[in-house]
Structure 1
Amino acid sequence: MIDQLPVGLSIAGALLLIALGLTFTFGQMGVINMAHGEFIMAGAYTAYLLQDLADDKAVFLALPVAFGVAGAMGLILERLAIRRFYGRPLDTLLLTWGVSLVLQQLARDLFGAPNVNVTAPGLLEGRLALGGMTIPYTRLFIMVLAVACVAAIWLYMNRSRQGRRMRAVMQNRELAACSGVVTERVDQLTFFIGSGLAGVAGVALTLIGPIGPSLGTNYIVDAFLVVVAGGLGRLRGAVLAALALGLLNSFVEFWTDASSAKVVVFVAIVAFLQVRPQGMFVLRSRALT
């Protein structure tokens, strides 16, 4: 039971890394991007390709490279297609679902259908004994990476000029445009950052197990649940929801099996949304009554 705690925290860290990108694209822009899972896959395969250059250091080298690769893919998708469907979430769902199928088939053509492994760095071999439990260094690295990404996003959103512009567009797009904010550029940057974070999550997932063309589909639904349960566009809500879902999934799976754990998690989310349909945290705004 004690050893399930770091397992749950590492699952929470992976979910949080995935959900951070969705917090931008779905929570702030209202775009249901089903291709987000394929950006995760792109980040994972980036680490796989870099093994020939960096051997067991590929994971460290792949973090910034995967951010750029997945971010560029997201930017291209936003420029070529999604920009024409803003304000139409169901249309973006169908569009990006089709794109995700195309990207999965492209990955099968390039890398093959079987799963492949990425060698973990030598620095992450072994376990840390702490308080009666053992934590693999790979899972500890995922936790630290998730905390670092949350801190970086918080600083960006609250301390940078571009981050404040992004928040302004999220809260009131029309008023932000009237104030001189170029909302189109903000949308491009938002989609780039959100997609890039998916690439970083993909690199982290290579430390958990093998990767394949359908890697993203195994996590995308849970990541959407994290965003919805935490509150659309709310960073602290995503953090708390990821922790809750990761720990719940870990402990329930310990007592039952993976399928039963998924069912329990879904039931818990449905029950929670019955009580708080807008999630843990809601963006406060003034409205005419």
Structure 2
Amino acid sequence: MTFSEMMNIGLMQGFAGLSLFSVLLLMGLGLAVIFGQMGVINMAHGEFMTIGAYTIYLGSTLTEKFAPGLMQMYFPVAIVAAFLIAFAAGWLTEWALIRHLYKRPLDTLLATWGLSLGLQQVFRSTFGPKEVSPTLPDWLMGSWAPSEGLDIPINGLFVMGLTAVVTGLLLIALYKARWGLRVRATVSNRVMANAIGINTKKTDRLTFAIGCGIAGVAGAAFTTIGSTGPTSGSLYIVDSFLVVTFGGAGSLLGTVASAFGIAQTQSISEFFMTGSNAKVLTLMLVIGILMIRPQGLFASKVRR
């Protein structure tokens, strides 16, 4: 094997890592908002991702059946629908369940784990136990070949672009919008935030719903690189919590750096060893770094 071929293989493996990084980052951003900003352990976060993925599948199926001429345009609309449906489900979950369990992390963990199992059964009953895949528009198919022997999938480029847009919008919302100001004030000092007129209960509900909505977008991105089943979201929940913990709870910059490091380490090591061994290696490296720096890569400074 020539040096050029080795370089091309390394670049393609690295790009595969970027695709995984994009999904992990979207999942991690949603968790960073919910877990990092609110301290809620949401074990059903993966199921909100699955809601987004099934929304894309439904959009594809309905468009193909009733409006086949719109197949090239349905996907961006379905992504917005995935966010809105997951957002609404998150809003309802916070109102019906989470708001009664604040400052009770173990109860929250058990309750959301039960919700996760319940949602998985709903998915099985509605869509069946088998994995499904949407029909993607033609402009998402194929690959881009910047040089001979190097093929970069177009769907991976799209997922990276989508991730960059969502990350940018979230940063703007957190640091420029009124909602972000309320969130940061609530995290910094909840009692003082209430005293100056911020409705912290409404802020909590909106924050939880936005985190779930971002998970829905992660599910939409996931449909371009894999098929969707009732347990698809649960396969990413551990990695998502790992991303948030490793990056530093509450730090969006840490979430980005952590998702990139974990995805690239896992993807590149999978070329030299089995998938299970690559995952073990990645986990050992993360644990080793957390032993040295238990607060994560970028610990946020919060006044207590």
- TM class, shorter-length: over 0.9
RMSD over aligned Cα atoms: 1.3
CA deviations over 1:116-168 (Å, ceiling 9, x no partner): 11122211111112366321000111111111111001111111112111111
* Corresponding residue for residue 112 of structure 2: 96
Aligned counterparts of 1:74 and 1:137: Cα–Cα separation in 2: 31
Tell me which of 30, 34, 37 is aligned to 2:39. Answer: 30
Would you identify which runs of 4 or more consecutive aligned residues in structure 1 move more than 6 Å?
none
> 1:231-263: per-residue Cα shift (whole Å, max 9, x none)?
111111100001001100101111112111111
Aligned to 1:208: 225
Tell me which amino acid in the other structure corresponds to 1:279: G
**Residue in 1 aligned with 2:49?**
40
Amino acid at match of 1:137: I
Does the Cα contact within 8 Å between 1:54 and 1:61 map onto a contact in 2? no
What is the distance in 2 between the residues matched to 1:267 and 1:46? 36
CA shift at 1:7, angstroms? 0.4
Equivalence for 1:153: 170
> How many Å separate the matches in 1 of 2:99 and 2:303?
28
Say if 2:248 and 2:296, in contact at 8 Å, map to a contact too: yes
Number of the residue aligned with 2:296: 279
State the 1:284 CA deviation.
2.1
Once the two structures are superposed, the pairs formed by residues 239-258 of structure 1 within 5 Å of their partners are: 239-258=256-275
TM-score (normalised: structure 2): 0.91
Q: Which residue of 2 aligns with 1:264?
A: 281
SS in 1 for 2:109: helix
Amino acid at match of 1:214: T
Distance in 1 between the 2:172 and 2:27 partners? Answer: 19
Write out per-residue CA displacement over residues 202-232 of structure 1, whole angstroms, 9 at most, x where no aligned residue: 0110001111000101111101111011111
SS of equivalent to 2:298: coil
SS across alignment from 1:34: coil
Q: 1:131 to 1:231 in 2, by over 3 A?
A: farther
- Equivalent position SS for 2:283: helix
Residues 1-289 of structure 1: pairs in structure 2 closer than 5 A: 1-55=10-64, 56=71, 57-130=73-146, 133-285=150-302
- Show CA shifts across 1:50-77 (max 9, x none): 1133344443221110111111111111
Q: Distance in 2 between matches of 1:176 and 1:146?
A: 31
Residue 6 of structure 2 aligns with which residue?
A: none
**Identity, % of aligned pairs?**
45
Normalising by the residue count of structure 1, what TM-score does the alignment of the two structures yield?
0.96
Counterpart AA for 2:156: R
Unaligned runs of 5+ in 2: 1-9, 65-70
Task: Give how far 1:170 is off.
Answer: 1.5
Q: Which has the larger radius of gyration?
A: 2
Amino acid at match of 2:35: F
Q: How many residues align?
A: 287
